[in-house]
Structure 1
Amino acid sequence: MTETRMLGVLGGMGPLAGATFMARLTLLTPAARDQEHIPAVLWSDPRVPDRTAARLAGGEDPLPWLVRGIRGLEAAGCGAIAIPCNTAHGWFDAMQAATPLPILHIVEAAADELGRLGLAAGPVGLLATKGTLAMRLYQDRLEGRGYRCLVPPEAEMDEAVMPAIERVKANRVAEAYAPLAEAAMRLVERGARGVVLGCTEIPLGIAAGPALPFPVADTIDALARAALAWARPAG
């Protein structure tokens, strides 16, 4: 039997984002038959407390639930973990400290995706949850690579972006397209050369309508590419 690295996927945040990650991982894999795909285990637990509420409103701490999922993936024999939820990366250091397995960082994957799209240092738009923005998960890491993040104003977050994310979580995906597309276009109008879709619900909403006429870094695809690079290292 050929030994192949097994990927663990800590999902359920939300369930559709985790399922879409698995689909995109499969579709992005250069494989001609089943046996050439990446072995993966999806731990999809939608009971994980809301990450934005935990960070901004004193909600229940998600870390014990996140670590519980990590333990399940460890027990399944996984060699690394991907988390298709951006806001959960606010607990990245604590999660990494809880496991010897490497956790692939979605923001680093997104930064690599910007480079793949040909967007070097400069202004980029950022659509994400209020929790992700408040924790500066993207701003600090991307600025370290020479990018400057433009984000929607607070009123637009409250009236368009957050409600659109909630629609995706409620399986009303088509309704999310218009507000998300408009928010992305406004960032480009303000000088962004492309937009990072920094919440894994956002690419699902954007995919429900016409393609945007500027580069977008889809963090689901970015994380899937990082997982493939881990599973099949060069050389």
Structure 2
Amino acid sequence: MRMATSEPVIGILGGMGPAATADFYSKLVALTPGATDQEHPKVVIWADPTVPDRTLALTENGPDPTPWLIRGARVLRASGATTLAIPCNTAHAFLPGIASQLGLPVVHMIDEVARHIRTLSPAVTSVGLLATTGTVRTGLYQQWLSEYSIDALVPDPAVQQEWVMTAIRAIKSGDVGQATTDKLVRAAEHLVESGAQVVIAGCTEIPLGLPADAATCQIIDPATILARALLRRVAHARKYASTADPG
């Protein structure tokens, strides 16, 4: 008899924010190769918008979101998830302290982005970062990119507050109009003028207000990279299951 194998199930720990979670799942569907429903991966989504603000927790001693993250991961595991994805950049700042409590392996979005940028040609040694103030201050991307000798440039404080954070808040409120896009375009151009070769849209809300064709520079979308990484893992698990030796 063939050994019992379990179908991989992607668990999406979302709600941070709701629009970004919906956008991430749409990207996962769009990137899945296949012509039928049955070729898509199994997915469980836990979208909890009550998770306390991650940036406030990191910068203003706001409520700690880790109990919500742990609870959500356990809900996903109980629902059959075998792998965890978190389409929120800032939430990754809390992972080191709780990884052992999640009960599932996490496909780390920041690490996947750093690995992707390392493969670009011509080689990239300096990137710009558009992200929440929490992500910027904790050095999430700076740390992971430095492992590959890549420098991360961040906006000046005024640009960060007046353009980047204002745009992120607008998108969370449902405003993805031209004024919001213009702020993000100006912020991206500010980073390019500072020496960035590419710019990371390091908050999953940002691609909703900054289409790839709106900026003159290359925009790296972490949600897209995460979706591709998950699909590679699903494909690998399916291939392994199909070629497993009989028991």
* TM-score of the superposed pair, with normalisation by structure 2: 0.90
* Per-residue deviation, residues 167-216 of structure 1 (Å, max 9, x unmatched): 01001012421100110011111111100111101111102x84322221
Partners of 1:116 and 1:212 lie apart in 2 by 22
Report the equivalent of 1:100.
Answer: 103
1:119·1:193 contact (CA, 8 Å) conserved in 2?
no
Report the equivalent of 1:197.
Answer: 201
Partners of 1:49 and 1:127 lie apart in 2 by 21
- Tell me the SS of whatever aligns to 1:71: helix
- Tell me the SS of whatever aligns to 1:118: coil
* Per-residue deviation, residues 23-59 of structure 1 (Å, max 9, x unmatched): 0000011111100001101100000000000111111
Match of 2:45 among 37, 42, 51: 42
1:112·1:222 contact (CA, 8 Å) conserved in 2?
no
**Bigger Rg, structure 1 or 2:** 2
Comparing 68-77 with 98-107, which one deviates more in the overlay? 98-107
2:124·2:197 contact (CA, 8 Å) conserved in 1?
no
| Alpha-carbon shift at residue 104 of structure 1 (Å) | 1.0
| Alpha-carbon shift at residue 101 of structure 1 (Å) | 1.3
* Per-residue deviation, residues 49-81 of structure 1 (Å, max 9, x unmatched): 000001111111100011110010010111110
Identity %: 44
What does 1:108-147 correspond to in 2, within 5 Å? 108-115=111-118, 117-118=120-121, 120-147=123-150
Q: Unaligned regions of 5+ residues in structure 1, if any?
A: none
- Tell me the SS of whatever aligns to 2:113: helix
Comparing 221-230 with 51-60, which one deviates more in the overlay? 221-230
> Cα RMSD between the aligned structures?
1.8
Partners of 2:122 and 2:170 lie apart in 1 by 30
- Tell me the SS of whatever aligns to 2:236: coil
* TM-score of the superposed pair, with normalisation by structure 1: 0.94
2:133·2:165 contact (CA, 8 Å) conserved in 1?
yes
Report the equivalent of 2:28.
Answer: 25
1:230–1:95 distance in 2 versus 1, CA, 3 Å: farther
Partners of 1:89 and 1:78 lie apart in 2 by 19
1:119·1:194 contact (CA, 8 Å) conserved in 2?
no
Q: Does 1:186 align with 2:193?
A: no
What does 1:65-76 correspond to in 2, within 5 Å? 65-76=68-79
Report the equivalent of 1:12.
Answer: 15
Partners of 1:114 and 1:73 lie apart in 2 by 30
| Alpha-carbon shift at residue 83 of structure 1 (Å) | 0.3
Report the equivalent of 1:161.
Answer: 164
| Alpha-carbon shift at residue 116 of structure 1 (Å) | 5.1
Partners of 1:51 and 1:163 lie apart in 2 by 16
1:51–1:69 distance in 2 versus 1, CA, 3 Å: same
| Alpha-carbon shift at residue 109 of structure 1 (Å) | 1.6
Partners of 1:167 and 1:24 lie apart in 2 by 22
- Tell me the SS of whatever aligns to 1:104: coil
Report the equivalent of 1:206.
Answer: 210
1:113·1:217 contact (CA, 8 Å) conserved in 2?
no
| Alpha-carbon shift at residue 96 of structure 1 (Å) | 1.3
